[in-house]
Amino acid sequence: MKQKITDTNIKANDNVVVNSGADRGRRGKVLKVNSKTGRIIVEGINKKHKYLKPGPEQPKGGKINVEFPIDISNVMIFCEKCKKGVRIGIQYKDKTRIRVCKTCGKNLD
């Protein structure tokens, strides 16, 4: 059974870099995070064709390109200052939790 992730450091609208798989090295914005399954949807990454049955909106059916989820362990947050994917550190200021870059210390929130 796969380990469930309850708390993730990656949030929606973060810029991430894919570090494994067919889209390795590509960057994108996180559209959706599912912390229960540990998977995320990244804009423009892991696109596949989805075939639609004929219906009232599309009488002929058809196919569309859709971003499918990838595992959260296959991405790293992109730091604008370092210009690469980085690990995240947590700092507390005034009882608030802040995500920072481990390399340069830049605030990522």
Rounded to 5 degrees, φ, ψ at 4 are -90, 135
- What are the tens digits of pLDDT across the range 2-37? 665 556 789 999 999 999 989 999 999 999 999 888
pLDDT band for 109, please (50, 70, 90 cuts).
Answer: confident
Angle, CA 86 vertex, CA 83 and CA 92 arms, to 5°: 115
Mean pLDDT of the chain: 89
State in words which class domain 15-101 has: mainly beta
pLDDT at position 2 is: 61
Per domain, the residue ranges of the chain are 15-101
